[in-house]
Amino acid sequence: MDLLTSNNLSIPAVAALCVAAVVLLWMTYTDYRHFLLPDKGNIVLAVSGLAFHALTGFIFQSPVSMLVGAIAGAMIFIFSRWYGLKVKKIDGVGLGDIKFAAAAGLWLGAFGVSLMVLSSAIILLIIGSGLVIVKKKDFRKLYLPFGAVACPVTLVLLVVDILFVRLSMVFG
Protein backbone atom coordinates (compact mmCIF):
# COMPACT_ATOMS: atom_id res chain seq x y z
CA MET A 1 0.00 0.00 0.00
CA ASP A 2 1.42 3.41 -0.98
CA LEU A 3 1.89 5.52 2.14
CA LEU A 4 1.03 8.86 0.52
CA THR A 5 -1.84 8.11 -1.83
CA SER A 6 -3.71 5.26 -0.17
CA ASN A 7 -7.18 5.83 1.23
CA ASN A 8 -7.72 9.49 2.12
CA LEU A 9 -4.41 11.27 1.46
CA SER A 10 -5.19 12.65 -1.99
CA ILE A 11 -3.11 15.02 -4.08
CA PRO A 12 -5.24 18.03 -2.99
CA ALA A 13 -4.73 17.01 0.66
CA VAL A 14 -0.98 16.74 0.14
CA ALA A 15 -1.10 20.16 -1.58
CA ALA A 16 -2.83 21.63 1.49
CA LEU A 17 -0.09 20.13 3.66
CA CYS A 18 2.60 21.60 1.38
CA VAL A 19 0.94 25.03 1.55
CA ALA A 20 0.95 24.79 5.36
CA ALA A 21 4.64 23.80 5.33
CA VAL A 22 5.60 26.79 3.19
CA VAL A 23 3.50 29.16 5.31
CA LEU A 24 4.97 27.80 8.55
CA LEU A 25 8.51 28.27 7.26
CA TRP A 26 7.71 31.80 6.08
CA MET A 27 6.09 32.64 9.43
CA THR A 28 9.16 31.26 11.25
CA TYR A 29 11.38 33.66 9.35
CA THR A 30 8.96 36.59 9.70
CA ASP A 31 8.57 36.19 13.45
CA TYR A 32 12.31 35.74 13.94
CA ARG A 33 13.20 38.85 11.92
CA HIS A 34 10.24 41.14 12.67
CA PHE A 35 8.52 39.72 15.79
CA LEU A 36 5.34 39.39 13.77
CA LEU A 37 3.02 36.53 12.82
CA PRO A 38 1.06 38.05 9.91
CA ASP A 39 -2.71 37.63 9.64
CA LYS A 40 -2.32 36.43 6.04
CA GLY A 41 -0.18 33.54 7.21
CA ASN A 42 -2.56 32.65 10.02
CA ILE A 43 -5.54 32.71 7.67
CA VAL A 44 -3.81 30.53 5.07
CA LEU A 45 -2.70 28.14 7.82
CA ALA A 46 -6.26 27.88 9.17
CA VAL A 47 -7.87 27.44 5.74
CA SER A 48 -5.31 24.85 4.66
CA GLY A 49 -5.95 22.95 7.91
CA LEU A 50 -9.69 22.97 7.35
CA ALA A 51 -9.19 21.86 3.75
CA PHE A 52 -6.69 19.13 4.64
CA HIS A 53 -8.90 17.54 7.26
CA ALA A 54 -12.02 17.79 5.10
CA LEU A 55 -10.17 16.28 2.12
CA THR A 56 -8.91 13.39 4.25
CA GLY A 57 -12.35 12.62 5.67
CA PHE A 58 -11.30 13.83 9.13
CA ILE A 59 -9.19 10.70 9.79
CA PHE A 60 -6.40 12.75 11.38
CA GLN A 61 -8.57 15.15 13.42
CA SER A 62 -12.32 15.12 13.86
CA PRO A 63 -14.23 18.41 13.46
CA VAL A 64 -14.77 18.47 17.23
CA SER A 65 -11.06 17.91 17.89
CA MET A 66 -10.21 20.68 15.44
CA LEU A 67 -12.61 23.10 17.14
CA VAL A 68 -11.38 22.20 20.63
CA GLY A 69 -7.79 22.51 19.42
CA ALA A 70 -8.40 25.98 17.99
CA ILE A 71 -10.18 27.15 21.14
CA ALA A 72 -7.58 25.60 23.47
CA GLY A 73 -4.70 27.09 21.48
CA ALA A 74 -6.25 30.54 21.47
CA MET A 75 -7.27 30.42 25.14
CA ILE A 76 -3.75 29.54 26.31
CA PHE A 77 -2.49 32.75 24.76
CA ILE A 78 -5.51 34.89 25.57
CA PHE A 79 -4.93 34.04 29.23
CA SER A 80 -1.18 34.64 28.87
CA ARG A 81 -1.83 38.01 27.25
CA TRP A 82 -4.33 39.00 29.93
CA TYR A 83 -1.92 37.92 32.70
CA GLY A 84 0.95 39.84 31.12
CA LEU A 85 -1.04 43.02 30.60
CA LYS A 86 -3.02 43.08 33.87
CA VAL A 87 -0.68 41.47 36.37
CA LYS A 88 2.84 41.98 35.05
CA LYS A 89 2.09 45.18 33.11
CA ILE A 90 3.97 43.90 30.05
CA ASP A 91 2.86 43.10 26.52
CA GLY A 92 4.51 39.71 26.15
CA VAL A 93 2.00 37.90 23.95
CA GLY A 94 0.93 39.42 20.67
CA LEU A 95 -2.39 38.94 18.92
CA GLY A 96 -0.56 37.07 16.16
CA ASP A 97 0.44 34.42 18.71
CA ILE A 98 -3.22 33.97 19.67
CA LYS A 99 -4.30 33.65 16.05
CA PHE A 100 -1.42 31.32 15.24
CA ALA A 101 -2.25 29.02 18.15
CA ALA A 102 -5.88 28.85 16.98
CA ALA A 103 -4.82 28.04 13.40
CA ALA A 104 -2.32 25.44 14.63
CA GLY A 105 -5.07 23.98 16.81
CA LEU A 106 -7.15 23.35 13.69
CA TRP A 107 -4.32 21.25 12.32
CA LEU A 108 -3.18 19.54 15.52
CA GLY A 109 -6.29 19.22 17.69
CA ALA A 110 -6.36 19.86 21.44
CA PHE A 111 -3.63 17.39 22.43
CA GLY A 112 -1.36 18.40 19.55
CA VAL A 113 -1.66 22.13 20.17
CA SER A 114 -0.93 21.56 23.87
CA LEU A 115 2.14 19.53 22.91
CA MET A 116 3.20 22.28 20.50
CA VAL A 117 2.92 24.96 23.19
CA LEU A 118 4.78 22.86 25.77
CA SER A 119 7.54 21.84 23.33
CA SER A 120 7.97 25.41 22.10
CA ALA A 121 8.10 26.76 25.65
CA ILE A 122 10.78 24.24 26.63
CA ILE A 123 12.85 25.07 23.55
CA LEU A 124 12.50 28.81 24.25
CA LEU A 125 13.49 28.26 27.88
CA ILE A 126 16.62 26.43 26.76
CA ILE A 127 17.48 29.15 24.22
CA GLY A 128 16.78 31.91 26.73
CA SER A 129 18.85 30.22 29.43
CA GLY A 130 21.69 29.83 26.97
CA LEU A 131 21.55 33.52 26.09
CA VAL A 132 21.53 34.50 29.76
CA ILE A 133 24.47 32.22 30.60
CA VAL A 134 26.64 32.59 27.50
CA LYS A 135 25.89 36.13 26.36
CA LYS A 136 25.15 37.55 29.83
CA LYS A 137 21.74 38.84 28.71
CA ASP A 138 19.38 40.28 31.33
CA PHE A 139 16.59 37.72 31.64
CA ARG A 140 14.01 40.41 32.49
CA LYS A 141 14.74 42.23 29.23
CA LEU A 142 15.00 39.12 27.08
CA TYR A 143 12.32 38.83 24.39
CA LEU A 144 12.18 35.71 22.25
CA PRO A 145 9.61 35.38 19.46
CA PHE A 146 7.32 32.46 20.22
CA GLY A 147 6.33 31.89 16.60
CA ALA A 148 9.92 31.49 15.46
CA VAL A 149 9.98 28.25 17.47
CA ALA A 150 6.30 27.29 17.44
CA CYS A 151 6.00 27.31 13.64
CA PRO A 152 8.71 24.70 12.99
CA VAL A 153 7.52 22.67 16.00
CA THR A 154 4.02 22.70 14.48
CA LEU A 155 5.41 21.49 11.15
CA VAL A 156 7.29 18.65 12.83
CA LEU A 157 4.20 17.63 14.81
CA LEU A 158 2.07 17.68 11.63
CA VAL A 159 4.47 15.42 9.77
CA VAL A 160 4.91 13.06 12.74
CA ASP A 161 1.15 12.87 13.31
CA ILE A 162 0.40 12.16 9.66
CA LEU A 163 3.15 9.56 9.39
CA PHE A 164 2.06 7.90 12.64
CA VAL A 165 -1.59 7.69 11.53
CA ARG A 166 -0.60 6.55 8.03
CA LEU A 167 1.78 3.90 9.32
CA SER A 168 -0.79 2.63 11.81
CA MET A 169 -3.30 2.33 8.93
CA VAL A 170 -0.80 0.50 6.73
CA PHE A 171 0.57 -1.86 9.35
CA GLY A 172 -2.58 -2.21 11.43
Q: Dump pLDDT digits (tens) for 81-108.
A: 999 899 888 777 899 999 999 999 999 9
Torsion-angle region of residue 58: left (phi > 0), alpha (psi -120 to 50) or beta? Answer: left
- Indicate whether this model's pTM tops 0.85: yes
Look at the alpha carbons of 103, 154, 65, 72 in this order and tell me if their dihedral is positive or negative: negative
pLDDT in tens, 137-165: 777 778 889 999 999 999 999 999 988 88
Give dist(CA 148, CA 124) in Å, integer. 10
pLDDT in tens, 35-62: 999 999 999 999 999 999 999 999 999 9
Residue 79 has pLDDT above 90, yes or no: yes
Look at the alpha carbons of 60, 62, 65, 70 in this order and tell me if their dihedral is positive or negative: positive
pLDDT in tens, 112-124: 999 999 999 999 9
Higher pLDDT: 163 or 8? It is 163
pLDDT band for position 1 (cuts 50, 70, 90): very low
pLDDT at 165: 80
pLDDT band for position 14 (cuts 50, 70, 90): very high
Percent of the chain scoring above 90 in pLDDT: 74
- Report DSSP state, residue 38: -
